[in-house]
Amino acid sequence: MDGKMKYEPVIGLEVHAQLNTRTKIFCGCANAFGGEPNTHVCPVCLGMPGVLPVLNKTVVEYAMRMALATDCAINRESRFARKNYFYPDLPKNYQISQYELPIAEHGQVTIALEDGAMKRIGITRIHMEEDAGKLVHDEYQPLSYVDLNRTGVPLIEIVSEPDIASPEEAASYLRAIREVLRYLDICDGNMEEGSFRCDANVSLRPWGNETLGTRTELKNLNSFKYVESALAYEIRRQESLLEEGQAVIQETRLWDSAQNRSFSMRGKEEAHDYRYFPDPDLTPLIIDDVWIETIRKTLPELPGARKDRFINEYALPFYDAGVLTSGRELADYFEDCVRQVKNPKLVSNWVMGSLLGLLNAEGKTIEQSPVSATQLAELLTLMETGVISGKIAKTVFDEMVVSGKSPKAIVEEKGLVQVTDSSEISAVVDRVIAASPGEVEKFKAGNTKLMGFFVGQVMKETKGKANPEIVNRLLKEKLG
Ligand code: ADP
Ligand code: MG
Ligand code: ZN
């Protein structure tokens, strides 16, 4: 935010993460995205009278994993509650959620700010609930269909404290939460498919004020970009209201990404509107210490810890460590490669540069990389041992991507082995010097920048294969 602003933005996020369990939260139906409408359903998730929900133990364990990974305290007793409301995608007319006693509370995640400082964002609570179905609106007629495949898909809702101070921080917080979910392998974090959703609450207050201003809640934010632009828009909108002496109305607003503006959807609902009460069909959930410790032991190294380790163990810059640990598979790839080529910074440069550049351009994930960690390691070893130059390595890399061949095979086939024979290079250097008397004269008169020209000529003649150090040394000797 620019320093001119009179008001301090205050942001709190509610994140819904669909858990990737095999079955739904209260029945045995498949928990799978898509599928023919209304095929992953049964009397329980259709909300037929007389059926009983049975809690999926894996859902509880996934929620515990997230709670432990975000330093939350796990409640030894938690409860499911009915959140009552009517909507065509909710056949029971209530959603089973947790209210007064969620599974976990009082957690935190750490995000890196733009200036490199770290900031703690508090997590108020994590609770489990079931997802609702989906309304599918006909494109051509005023007609809507109900697809209940999604009813009963397990969700955890992660509610942050209003600790977030800018749209950029909101995006980093979301990225951090998504990284943790992915490291834990409990949610795929796909915002477009809706398996990772965010509602953003924002208010303004005069700088230095303790009390929070009136907030609005933004829905329908299905990309990181939309979260940022919707919050920035909303901050500007609230600011101009306050500037004009008008009040911000507490309400829910929808973000319209096509028009780049939000508009009012409905007045803010209050908890009492939902008539929450404990679900009589589900007993209190009791979690003991033994269970918690069992789950704790299954946690992988988390992104924050792994990033710190990358900085300490591999002496990588903060930036590199952040990029390389942004996904578990990417971090695994990097470490696999470093085990084979003991030069972390070189591997980091290649992974962040050539490899991620390629994957981004082709819209691929690291698992779909056409170059395996072992292949990249082989290429970098050829470079490290002086068989090929760095420049040639780039050519070989491009060729590996196209043909899938091993770097050694490509180097042999195309005769790309670096020339380190001084007498061979010396002959080329002599030819280059003889062919450019004008440049030689200027060089001797003090235009040392021309060194680059001579090196370039030698490289051109040797098709990039001459060892650059030897070229430089010979040129200096002969010109100098
Ligand atoms: P709900 O929106 O479901 O009523 P909560 O009252 O728990 O739920 O608040 C939801 C989110 O709104 C939390 O992330 C919280 O930090 C944030 N929040 C609450 N009050 C404010 C405020 N005045 N300004 C900005 N964010 C707020
Ligand atoms: Mg809310
Ligand atoms: Zn079912």
- The reply to whether ligand 1 has any atom less than 6 angstroms from the CB of 201 is yes
What does the angle CA 312 – CA 314 – CA 315 come to, to the nearest 5 degrees? 65
- Domain coordinates in residue numbering, the chain: 7-294, 303-414, 422-479
Backbone angles phi, psi at 125, to 5 degrees: -160, 160
CB atoms within 10 A of CB 137: 9
Cβ pair 41, 231 in contact under 8 A: no
- The reply to whether ligand 1 has any atom less than 6 angstroms from the CB of 202 is yes
Give the nearest ligand 1 atom to 162 CA.
Answer: 16
- The reply to whether ligand 1 has any atom less than 6 angstroms from the CB of 159 is yes
Reported residue count of the chain is 480
| Cα–Cα distance, 260 to 265 (Å, whole number) | 16
Alpha-carbon distances of 74 from 159, 456, 468, rounded to whole Å: 15, 65, 60
Q: Tens place of pLDDT for every residue, the chain, 480 residues? A: 455 678 999 999 999 999 999 999 999 999 998 889 999 999 999 999 999 999 999 999 999 999 999 999 999 999 999 999 999 999 999 999 999 999 999 999 999 888 878 899 999 999 999 999 999 999 899 999 999 999 999 999 999 999 999 999 999 999 999 999 999 999 999 998 899 999 999 999 999 888 999 999 999 898 999 999 999 999 999 999 999 999 999 999 999 988 888 888 877 677 678 999 999 999 999 999 999 999 999 999 999 999 999 999 999 999 999 999 999 999 999 999 999 998 999 999 999 999 999 999 998 989 999 999 999 999 999 988 888 888 889 989 999 998 888 998 998 888 777 788 888 888 899 999 998 889 898 988 888 888 889 988 988 888 888 888 888 889 988 887
- Look up residue 319 and give its two tokens: 């930036």
Query: What is the whole-number distance in angstroms between the Cα of residue 404 and the centre of ligand 2?
Result: 50
Query: What is the whole-number distance in angstroms between the Cα of residue 410 and the centre of ligand 2?
Result: 57
| Cα–Cα distance, 48 to 52 (Å, whole number) | 9
- The reply to whether ligand 1 has any atom less than 6 angstroms from the CB of 162 is yes
Task: Collect residues with CB below 5 Å from ion ligand 2.
Answer: 14
**What architecture does CATH give domain 422-479?**
Orthogonal Bundle (1.10)
- The reply to whether ligand 1 has any atom less than 6 angstroms from the CB of 10 is yes
| Cα–Cα distance, 178 to 274 (Å, whole number) | 29
Query: What is the whole-number distance in angstroms between the Cα of residue 151 and the centre of ligand 3?
Result: 8
